Amino acid sequence: MPVFFAAATEHAGVLLSLFLMIFAAKLMAEIFERLRQPAVVGEILAGVIIGPSLLGWVSPSEFTTIIAEIGVIFLLFTVGLETKPESILRVGKRAFLVGTLGVILPFIAGYFIAIWWEGVFVEAMFVGAALVATSVGITARVLGSLGLLDKETSKIILGAAVIDDILGLIILSTVSSLSTGGVDYFGLAKTAGLAILFTVVVGTAGARSMKLLAPRVDALRMHRPFFNIGLILCLGLSIASMYVGVAAIIGAFLAGMALAEPTEENHTMHRMTSGVTEFLVPFFLVNIGMQLDLSVFRDSTVIGLALLITFFAVITKFIGCGLGAWGMTRREMGQIGVGMIPRGEVGIVVAQIGLSLGVISKPFFASVLFMAVATTLIAPPLIKLFFSEDKDNDGVDDVIVETDISDEFTRIG
Amino acid sequence: MPVFFAAATEHAGVLLSLFLMIFAAKLMAEIFERLRQPAVVGEILAGVIIGPSLLGWVSPSEFTTIIAEIGVIFLLFTVGLETKPESILRVGKRAFLVGTLGVILPFIAGYFIAIWWEGVFVEAMFVGAALVATSVGITARVLGSLGLLDKETSKIILGAAVIDDILGLIILSTVSSLSTGGVDYFGLAKTAGLAILFTVVVGTAGARSMKLLAPRVDALRMHRPFFNIGLILCLGLSIASMYVGVAAIIGAFLAGMALAEPTEENHTMHRMTSGVTEFLVPFFLVNIGMQLDLSVFRDSTVIGLALLITFFAVITKFIGCGLGAWGMTRREMGQIGVGMIPRGEVGIVVAQIGLSLGVISKPFFASVLFMAVATTLIAPPLIKLFFSEDKDNDGVDDVIVETDISDEFTRIG
- Determine the pLDDT at residue B400: 35
pLDDT digits (tens, 9 = 90+) for B304-346: 999 999 999 999 999 999 999 999 999 999 999 999 999 888 7
Cα nearest neighbour of A29 on chain B: B222
Which 182-201 residues of chain B touch chain A by CB within 8 A? 187, 191
Mean pLDDT for the stretch of residues A365-394: 84
- Cα distance between residue B327 and residue B367, in whole Å: 35
Among B322, B375, B377, CA closest to B347: B375
Average pLDDT of span A378-398: 71
Residue A115 reports pLDDT greater than 60: yes
Which chain A residues are Cβ-neighbours of B231 within 8 angstroms? 22, 26, 279
CA of A146, closest CA in chain B: separation in Å? 11
For residue B391, what pLDDT is reported? 57
With CB atoms and an 8 Å threshold, state whether B145 touches A10.
no
Of A231, A222, A275, the C-alpha closest to A256 is A231
**Most confident residue range from A120-124, A370-374, B53-57, B106-110:** B106-110
Give per-residue pLDDT as tens, B286-305.
Answer: 999 998 878 777 888 889 99
Please tell me whether residue B328 adopts helix, strand or coil conformation: strand
Residues of B in contact with A219 (CB under 8 A): none
- Does any CB of chain B come closer than 8 Å to the CB of residue A18? yes
CA-based nearest distance A327→chain B, Å: 36
User: Nearest 5°: CA angle at A164, between A160 and A169?
Assistant: 155
**B404–A224: do the CB atoms touch at under 8 Å?**
yes
Window 96-125 of B, Cβ < 8 Å to A: none
The rounded distance, in Å, linking the Cα atoms of A289 and A45 is: 6
What residue ranges do the domains of chain A occupy?
70-279+302-412
The alpha carbon dihedral of B385, B99, B199, A8 has a sign of negative
Top pLDDT among A176 and A134 is at: A134
Q: Which of A187, A244, A276 sits opposite B276 (nearest CB)?
A: A276
- How many whole angstroms separate alpha carbon A10 and alpha carbon B161? 18
Please count the CA atoms within 13 angstroms of the CA of B346 that sit on its side-chain side: 32
> What's the CA gap between A296 and B367, in Å, rounded?
55
Rounded to whole angstroms, the Cα distance separating A328 from A247 reads 29
Name beta bridge partners: B326.
B328
For residues B20-41, average pLDDT: 94
**B222 to A30: CB separation less than 8 angstroms, yes or no:** yes
B369-403 burial, b if ≥16 CB within 10 A, otherwise e? bbbbbbbbbbbbebbbebbeebbeeeeebeebbbb
pLDDT tens string A273-294: 999 999 999 999 999 999 887 8
Q: Do A239 and B19 touch (CB under 8 A)?
A: yes
Q: Is the Cβ–Cβ distance between B150 and B412 less than 8 Å?
A: yes
Contacts of A3 in chain B (CB under 8 A): 191, 242-245
Per-residue pLDDT band at B390 (split at 50, 70, 90): low
Kindly report which listed range (A283-297, B253-267, B398-412) carries the lowest average pLDDT score: B398-412
Nearest chain B CA: its distance from A33 CA (Å): 6
For residue B405, the model assigns a pLDDT of 42
Residues 128-157 of B with CB under 8 A from A: 145
Inter-chain residue contact B12 with A279, CB threshold 8 Å: no
Please, which residues have CB within 8 angstroms of residue B207's CB and are 6 or more apart in sequence?
A: B84, B85, B257, B258, B260, B261
Contacts of A9 in chain B (CB under 8 A): 349, 352-353
Contact B232 A9 (CB under 8 A): no
Is the CB of residue B37 less than 8 Å away from at least one CB of chain A? no
| C-alpha of A53 from chain center | 22
The Cα A67–Cα A19 span in angstroms is 13
ipTM for this prediction: 0.86
Q: How far is B326 from chain A (nearest CA, A)?
A: 33
Q: Do B10 and A242 touch (CB under 8 A)?
A: yes
Of A401, A42, A276, A26, which Cα lies nearest the Cα of B229?
A: A26
Q: Find, in chain B, the residue whose alpha carbon is nearest to that of A269.
A: B275
Nearest CB neighbour to B272, from listed A33, A222, A274:
A274
Query: Quick one: pLDDT at residue B408?
Result: 37
Res. A321 pLDDT band, cuts 50 70 90: very high
Q: Do A236 and B23 count as a contact with CB atoms less than 8 A apart?
A: yes
- Stretch 292-331 of chain B: residues touching chain A, C-beta under 8 Å: none
A131, A113 Cβ separation under 8 angstroms: no
B27: nearest CA in chain A?
Answer: A222
> Which residue in chain B has the smallest CA separation from A249?
B10
Looking at residues A302-318, what average pLDDT do you find? 94
- H-helix segments, A219-266: 225-244, 248-260
Determine contact: B404 vs chain A, CB below 8 A. yes
The confidence score (pLDDT) of residue B350 equals 85
The predicted model gives B149-165 an average pLDDT of 91
Instruction: For the full predicted model, state whether its pTM sits above 0.90.
Output: no
Using the Cβ of B5 and the Cβ atoms of chain A, whether some distance falls under 8 Å is answered with yes
CA dist A296 and A283 (Å) reads: 24
d(CA B140, CA B121): 35
| Among the partner residues B33, B176, B239, nearest to A2 by beta-carbon distance | B176
Domain B62-412 has CATH 1.20.1530.20: yes
Q: Which of residues 336-375 of A touch B (CB under 8 A)?
A: 349, 352-353
Measured distance CA(A184)–CA(B253) in Å, rounded? 57
Mean pLDDT of chain A: 86
Of A120-124, A318-322, B242-246, the range with the highest mean pLDDT is A318-322
Task: Decide if A238 touches B, using CB distance below 8 A.
Answer: yes
Q: Which CATH number fits domain A70-279+302-412: 3.20.20.70, 1.10.620.20, 2.40.110.10, 1.20.1530.20?
A: 1.20.1530.20
Distance between CA atoms of A20 and A134, rounded to whole angstroms?
Answer: 28
User: Strands, DSSP E only, in B87-148?
Assistant: none
* CA dist., res. B127 & res. B117, Å (int): 11
Distance CA A280, CA B67 (A): 13
Q: Does B174 touch chain A (CB under 8 A)?
A: no
Going by the DSSP 8-state scheme, the letter that residue B91 receives in this structure is T
Q: Is A182 a residue whose pLDDT tops 80? A: no
Report the pLDDT value the prediction gives residue B7, as an integer from 0 to 100.
42
pLDDT confidence of residue B280? 96
Whole-number Å distance between alpha carbons of A43 and A48: 9
Q: Check B245 against A2: CB less than 8 A apart.
A: yes
* pLDDT (0 to 100) of residue A357: 82
A213-227, A233-247, B79-93, B180-194: range with lowest mean pLDDT: B180-194
Q: In this structure, are residues B227 and A275 in contact, taking their beta carbons and an 8 Å threshold?
A: yes
Cβ–Cβ pairs < 8 A, chains A and B: 213
The answer to whether the Cβ–Cβ distance between A227 and B275 falls below 8 Å is yes
Cβ B7–A227 below 8 Å, yes or no?
no
Q: A165 in contact with B at a CB cutoff of 8 Å?
A: no
Smallest CA–CA distance, residue B327 to chain A, in Å, is 36
Nearest-CA distance from A111 to chain B in Å?
20
| pLDDT at A272 (0 to 100) | 95
